[in-house]
Amino acid sequence: MEDGLPSQRADATSVYDEMTSFDFVFILHLMKEIMGITDILCQALQSKSKDIINAMELVISTKNLLQHMRDNKWDDLLVKVKSFCEVRNIDIPDFSAAYIDRRGRVRLPQDNFTTENHYRVDIFYCAIDSQLQEINRRFSDDAMELLILSNALNPKKAVESFRIADICKLVEKFYAQDFTRDEKEQLEIQLKHYEYNIVKGSDYKSLSTISELCQWLIKTNKSVTYNLIFRVIVLVLTLPVSTATTERSFSAMNIVKTRLRSKMEDDFLSDALMIYIEKEIARNVSIEDIIEDFENLKERRIPFS
């Protein structure tokens, strides 16, 4: 602001004015409160060790805490922000006055929209509601029940309490089309034998993940004996229980969709990201094979006169 070039001083002054405004301070405090609630859930979901039950408990507690903040913490937040501004001589707007937006247009008089309404409704409620909507979208009641029931197959937990009823409920509610009625009845019988012969065995206690369990069943040929249970395990392993793929996708998007490719359509972007993310698989596919596949597609052949 003091030592830079004229253009730099103007930019620095503009940024300083923004950072010392009530708007900036309010939003910063609001972010701190919301992220303080959601951080433990984010850390749990990104952890390499996936404890589904604890993660689902954190989802429920995060939603409840955000809702409690929305219903009861407005006054507390406002007191914190005003106290912060008073200590640093930052102007505090009149909350009872009619709100004027940044473009200088006053809302219609019949709206009776005050400055307090703006900060409370447009920012405070809106920010918390967006967080709640995102959590509800990613963790619906059905999705949470699916994950909790799937955890009944986790060998690390099954040693303590193997829940046959949960596995049967999992199949009946979420994988009904993958099993016939006779197979569902056979599955319950298999689970009883599985509990007695497998879960109580010494080798089983050394397993810690469903993936390890799947590999061990194949290695010992028990996947044939308990074929229906093995089918359930394979279905559960298709669940996206890790955020790693999502994080890789966002990282890849910054590389694939550059400034010069900003108008790329969604389908083409999706195809390009798939090739980039799964580059190890793509390397095994030769250009000649791709050309041959296209040549074999009759509908793509161009008729010659």
Q: Are residues 28 and 120 in the same domain?
A: yes
- With tokens 């009883």, the residue in question is 192
In a domain? residue 287 = yes
In a domain? residue 146 = no
In a domain? residue 284 = yes
The answer to whether the CB of 217 falls within 8 A of the CB of 236 is no
Tokens of 156: 């690390």
pLDDT for res 62:
95
In a domain? residue 305 = no
Length of the chain, in residues: 305
Q: Is the pTM of this model over 0.85?
A: no
In a domain? residue 190 = yes
pLDDT for res 259:
64
- Widest CA span of the chain, in angstroms? 85
How does DSSP assign the chain, residue by residue? --SS-HHHHHHHHHHHHHHTSHHHHHHHHHHHHHHHHHHHHHHHHH-SS--HHHHHHHHHHHHHHHHHHHHH-HHHHHHHHHHHHHHTT-----TTSBPB-TTSPBPPGGG--BHHHIIIIIIIIHHHHHHHHHHHHHS-HHHHHHHHHHGGG-HHHHTT---HHHHHHHHHHHSGGGS-HHHHHHHHHHHHHHIIIIITSTTGGG--SHHHHHHHHHHTTHHHHTHHHHHHHHHHHTS---SHHHHHHHHHHHHHS-GGGTT--HHHHHHHHHHHHTHHHHTTS-HHHHHHHHHH-GGGPPPP-
Q: Are residues 231 and 268 in the same domain?
A: no
pLDDT for res 241:
45
Q: Are residues 14 and 76 in the same domain?
A: yes
- With tokens 């006053």, the residue in question is 106
Q: Are residues 20 and 46 in the same domain?
A: yes
Q: Show the domain range for 59.
A: 6-139
Q: Are residues 228 and 119 in the same domain?
A: no
**Alpha-carbon gap, residue 108 to 117, rounded angstroms:** 14
**Alpha-carbon gap, residue 25 to 121, rounded angstroms:** 17
The pLDDT profile of the chain, 305 residues, written as one tens digit per residue, is 888 888 888 888 889 989 999 999 999 999 999 999 999 998 888 775 556 667 888 999 999 999 999 999 999 999 999 999 999 999 999 999 988 776 545 455 446 789 999 999 999 999 999 999 999 988 888 888 888 888 888 887 666 668 899 999 999 999 999 999 999 999 999 999 999 999 888 888 888 888 888 999 999 999 999 999 999 998 888 765 444 455 556 666 667 777 666 677 777 877 877 777 777 788 888 888 888 888 777 655 555 44
Q: Are residues 55 and 102 in the same domain?
A: yes
Closest CA to 167 of 241, 240, 235, 229: 229
Q: Are residues 278 and 222 in the same domain?
A: no
Q: Are residues 35 and 129 in the same domain?
A: yes
In a domain? residue 88 = yes
pLDDT for res 44:
84
Tokens of 5: 């070039």
Q: Are residues 22 and 81 in the same domain?
A: yes
Domain's final residue, options 203, 237, 271? 237
Tokens of 253: 């998007």
In a domain? residue 1 = no
Q: How many domains does the chain have?
A: 3
Q: Are residues 167 and 275 in the same domain?
A: no
Q: Are residues 166 and 83 in the same domain?
A: no
Q: Are residues 23 and 114 in the same domain?
A: yes
Domain's final residue, options 104, 139, 174? 139
The amino acid sitting at 158 is: A
Domain's final residue, options 118, 139, 160? 139
**Alpha-carbon gap, residue 149 to 161, rounded angstroms:** 13
Q: How far does the chain reach from its first CA to its final CA, in angstroms?
A: 74
Cα–Cα separations (whole angstroms), residue 123 to 40, 62, 88, 114, 126 = 23, 20, 23, 13, 5
In a domain? residue 177 = yes
